[in-house]
Structure 1
Amino acid sequence: MEPFIKTTEQPSSYRHLETMPLHDLLAGMNQEDQQVPLAVQAALPQIEKLALAVVEAMARGGRLFYIGAGTSGRLGVLDASEIPPTFGVSKNYVIGIIAGGNIALTDAVENAEDDEEQGWKDLESHKVSKNDILIGLATSGTTPYVIGAMEKCRALGIVTGCITCNKHAPISQVADFPVEVIVGPEFLTGSTRLKSGTAQKMVLNMISTIAMIRMGRVLDNKMVNMQLTNQKLIERGTRMLIEKTGLETEKAKHLLLQYGSVAAAMEAYNKDTGQI
C-alpha cells in the first residue's frame, strides 16, 4: 500500500497571495474549484457503494448519522438539517453530530476534535444501533473524534462509511465503505473549507438525495413531500398540483394547504376522483 500523505496539507501552488491582483485571486480559486467535480467523478464507484449501504440501512428502519469536526462537522449538520424540509421526513431520520456540540456550528471549540472518546458518547446519546449507518466526515482522514466513534461502531457491528480527501487515510481503514475524493492541495495551504469542503458537500448532496429518492420521497423529479414553510414553496407546490390535476390555481392551493404536502394532496385528489 502507498504511504499515507496528507495532500490536503501540501503547499499551495500559488505564492504570495497577499500581493496578487483581485482578478488573479478569483481566477486561481476558480481554476482550483474546477478540479472538484472531476475528483468526485473519479470516486463515483466508492460513492455508489456507500449510497447503497445508506439505502439498505433506511430500508430496514435505520437512521443515517453524520459525525465530524470543524467544517466537516458543519457540513454534516447542514445536510441533515435540510432533509426534513426538503423531503418531509422526521428530523430523527438523518442526524448530524459535530465535535463540541451545537456551539461549534458558529464558534471553534478548543480540542474538541482531539477527544477519541467523545464521538462515541455523542452517538450513544442517540441510541445508535445495528440498524443505523454512520458516515464519518474528515477531510484530513485523521480526526480522533471521528475515528474513535467509527472504531466503536465497527466493533459493535454498526455499518460505517467515510468521506475524506486524502488517499489511504486512517479513517478509511475503519470504514466499511470509504469514499476518498482527492482534490489536491488547497489554494490557501491547508484551508480545507475550500476544495475539500466543496467535495464533501457534493458527495453529501448525492448520498442523501439518492436515499430520499429510493425511500419514495420524490415523484418524477419533484419534491412532493417538501414542507410548506414559506410562500415560495406553497407556490411551487401549487404549480405541481396544477400540472398533475389540471385544477384551477385557487382550488389547487386550497387542496395543498388542506393536506399539507403535494403528495398528500395528490393522494386525496386521486381518491376523490377515482384515479390511480
Structure 2
Amino acid sequence: MSFTKVTEQDSNHSDLETKSISELLSAINNEDKTVPYAVEKALPQIERLVEKVVKQLKLGGRLFYMGAGTSGRLGVVDASECPPTFGVPHELVIGLIAGGETAIRKAVEFAEDSTTQGWLDLQDYAISKDDIVIGIAASGTTPYVLHALKKCNENGISTGSITCNASCPISLEAQLPVEVVVGPEFVTGSSRMKAGTAQKLVLNMISTATMIQLGKVKGNKMVDMQLSNDKLVDRGIRMIQAELQVSNEEAAKLLKEYGSVRGAVTNHIK
C-alpha cells in the first residue's frame, strides 16, 4: 500500500528568511495550534493502545519505547520521568534510542538505518511476551523501529506505534498503531517541530493514563513520587497536610518517617 509522507512535504510558509522575528513566531505558533486537534482525532487509537499497555503491565510486563533521533529522545524522556513522578522501578518503562546513550545528546550517523540493531537492543533486556513495545517514528519508515516491531510480532510480543504519516509501514506493522497526521512542518521536513510536539502529547497520555490505571495517582496527586529534591519534599508535605488536616510540622514528620505521601497517609489513617 502506498502512502504520502506528509512530514516531508513543502512547508505552508515560504521565504522564511525574509520574515521578521514577530512574523516567524506568530506563524510557528499558528502551526502549533493545529497539533492538539490532530491528536484528538487519534484518541480512539490511543485508548486501545493504553488499554493494552495497562494489561501487559498488570501481567508483570514492561513498556518499551523505541525510536531514532527526536522520536527516540522523546521516548527516553517519557520513560525516565516515570520513576520520579510515579514511584515505579526504572525497569518498568524503558526508552531505547538508535545509537544508544550517545544519540541522546548528539546524532549518531546512520544508526536509524540498521535493520537488526533494534531487535538486538530489545534482546539485551530479555524481551518477553509479557512486555509491550511501542515504536515511535514521525516518518513511519525508520528501519531501526520497523524491523524491531517485525521481530516482536514474529515472537508473539505486543506492539504499538506512534507515527505522523497515515498508512505508513510502521503503522501497518504495529498491532496497535497511533497515527497523528499534523501535516507539513514549518521548516520543511523538520519533524522535531509539530510531529515532535504531537509525539510528546501522545506519550504524556500513554504514561499518565497507564499510571493512573495502575493506582499510582490518588485523587489528582502523585502520591508515589520520589522525594528527590526540596521542591518535591515541600509538595509532599502540603499534600499530606491537605489530606490529613494536620500541621506542617506533623506532615513533615510523617513524610520523613514513611518516605512517601501514600505511606504517610495510609499509616496515619491506620
- What's the TM-score, normalizing by structure 1? 0.97
Alpha-carbon offset, residue 54 of structure 1:
0.4
Cα displacement (A) at 1:45: 0.6
What is aligned with 1:173? 172
Distance in structure 1 (CA, Å) of the matches to 2:211 and 2:259: 19
Q: Deviations over 1:26-57 (max 9, x none)?
A: 01000100010000000001011001010111
For 1:210, the equivalent position in structure 2 comes to 209
> Residue 161 of structure 1 aligns to a residue in which SS?
strand
Provide the residue aligned with 1:50 in structure 2: 49
Deviations 1:227-266 (A, max 9, x none): 0111111111111111111111011011112211100111
Aligned residue number for residue 150 of structure 1: 149
Question: What is the aligned-residue identity percentage?
Answer: 58
Which residue of the partner structure matches residue 233 of structure 1? Answer: 232
Shift of 1:65: 0.2
CA-CA distance at 1:222 after TM superposition: 0.4
Report the Cα offset of residue 13 of structure 1.
1.1
Q: Which residue of 2 aligns with 1:35?
A: 34
* Cα distance in 2, alignment partners of residues 92 and 9 from structure 1: 35
Residue 193 of structure 1 deviates from its aligned partner by 0.3
The aligned counterpart of 1:26 is: 25
SS in 1 for 2:208: helix
Q: Which amino acid aligns with 1:60?
A: L
CA distance in 2, matches of 1:125, 1:259: 35
- Cα separation, 1, equivalents of 2:241 and 2:67: 42
Aligned-partner SS, 1:95 = strand
CA RMSD, Structure 1 to Structure 2 (Å): 0.7
What are the superposed Cα offsets for residues 101-157 of structure 1, whole Å, 9 maximum, x if unpaired?
000000110110000100000010000100000000000000000011000000001
Tell me which moved more, 178-187 or 228-237.
228-237
- Partners in 2 of 1:81 and 1:75 — Cα distance? 10
The offset of 1:161, in angstroms, is: 0.2
Distance 2:256 2:65 in 1: 33
* Residue number in structure 1 paired with 2:198: 199
SS of structure 1 residue aligned to 2:178: strand
5+ residue gaps, structure 1: 272-276
CA distance in 1, matches of 2:142, 2:191: 13
The count of residues paired between Structure 1 and Structure 2 equals 270
* Post-superposition offset of 1:267: 1.5
Partner of 2:187: 188
Measured after TM superposition, the shift of residue 172 of structure 1 is 0.7
Q: Is structure 2 residue 65 aligned with structure 1 residue 66?
A: yes
Runs of 4+ in 1 over 2 A off after TM superposition: none
Amino acid across the alignment from 2:6: T
Per the normalisation by structure 2, the TM-score is: 0.99
Structure 1: distance between partners of 2:249 and 2:57 = 37
